[in-house]
Amino acid sequence: MENGKIKKSRAPAPARRKVPARPKSLYSQDELREIFRRFSIQRPEPKGELEHVNPFTLVVAVALSAQATDAGVNKATRALFKVADTPQKMLALGEEKLREYIKTIGLYRNKAKNVIALSQMLIDRFGGDVPRTREELVMLPGVGRKTANVVLSMAFGQSTMAVDTHIFRIANRLRLAPGKTPDEVEDKLVRLIPDEYLYHAHHWLILHGRYCCKARKPECERCVIADLCKAPEKTCDVPAPLVELPPQLYGPTP
């Protein structure tokens, strides 16, 4: 107190939220927006190609897909998910019988152990439900960051970037978000892709890499972003006609 007056203390200024800086890119924001605008016209509702009936079967399918093709996983899981579409049913099936269902998939013995273990953990720690956070998902045996991101996106509608081999390849090839690791590529893509396109972006990039910008020989003449692409090895500067693709080209056939 000074001269009979009470000094009023100033309330601290609210902390400013740190907005991640946009990484350096060869593409301008307008170019990035145009790339994903075209993808959105070509595939308005992109879908993952792993067949599943609920969040649990999605977790299992994605875990099984490591170093395997989606088509190969689907072939094995169609029969499996008819008898084991919950953690409880998967445990009742048991590891030995599970191996018989998935023996056509690479590394099937280790994957069978992980599926049984993750089913047990889902029951013990999460009441049989698939958790909705990345931190909890990666606790499950056989579930890494990519699997967690796929589940968060496809099962729970969250905007994530699941960097698989296709995305990692074309992010570097196109110089879209070059990085030495999937995590580095993921971080850059999340910060570069315009917000309005982020939810579907990982499916657009996966499908573009799978069906157009192929690993051995990219089909540049079929590419809708050929004029914008900054890949040194591209063979065409004229974009393909921008038309919507038939659904069967980017989703599992009925």
State pLDDT tens for residues 46-63. 888 899 999 999 999 999
At residue 23, the pLDDT reads: 77
**Percent of the chain at pLDDT above 70?**
89
**Four-residue CA torsion sign, 58, 59, 64, 70:** positive
Q: Assess contact for 68 and 165: CB atoms under 8 A.
A: no
Active-site residue flag, 164: yes
Per mean pLDDT, which of 1-10, 13-22, 36-45 is the most reliable? 36-45
What lies within 8 Å, CB to CB, of 195 at 6+ separation is none
pLDDT at 153 over 50: yes
At residue 151, the pLDDT reads: 95
Supply angle C-alpha 51, 208, 43, rounded to 5.
Answer: 70
Which residues are 2's β-sheet partners? 5
pTM of the predicted structure, to 2 decimals: 0.81
pLDDT at 66 over 90: no
pLDDT at 6 over 50: no
pLDDT at 13 over 80: no
At residue 8, the pLDDT reads: 43
pLDDT at 253 over 60: no
pLDDT at 179 over 50: yes
Alpha carbons 210 and 202: distance in angstroms, whole number: 12
Burial class (CB within 10 angstroms; exposed 0-12, middle 13-18, buried 19+) of 22: exposed
Q: Assess contact for 93 and 64: CB atoms under 8 A.
A: no
Alpha carbons 55 and 38: distance in angstroms, whole number: 30
Which of 18, 85, 129, 146 is the catalytic position? 146
DSSP string, 109-137: HHHHHHHHHHHHHHHHHHTTSPPSSHHHH
pLDDT at 19 over 50: no
Active-site residue flag, 75: no
At residue 96, the pLDDT reads: 96
Per-residue pLDDT band for 232 (boundaries 50, 70, 90) equals very high
pLDDT at 167 over 50: yes
pLDDT at 250 over 60: no
145-156 and 182-192 are packed helices; what angle lies between their axes, rounded to 10 degrees?
Answer: 40
Q: Among candidates 11, 156, 122, 142, which has minimal Cα distance to 66?
A: 142
Would you give the DSSP letter of residue 48?
-
* Residue range 69-128, pLDDT digits in tens: 999 999 999 999 999 999 999 999 999 999 999 999 999 999 999 999 999 999 999 999
At residue 15, the pLDDT reads: 43
At residue 18, the pLDDT reads: 47
- Spell out where 39-189 has E strands: none
Which of 70, 111, 164, 188 is the catalytic position? 164
Amino acid, single-letter form, for residue 52: H
Alpha carbons 143 and 124: distance in angstroms, whole number: 17
In the chain, the domains with their CATH numbers are: 29-47+159-244 (1.10.1670.10), 55-156 (1.10.340.30)
Which residues are 5's β-sheet partners? 2
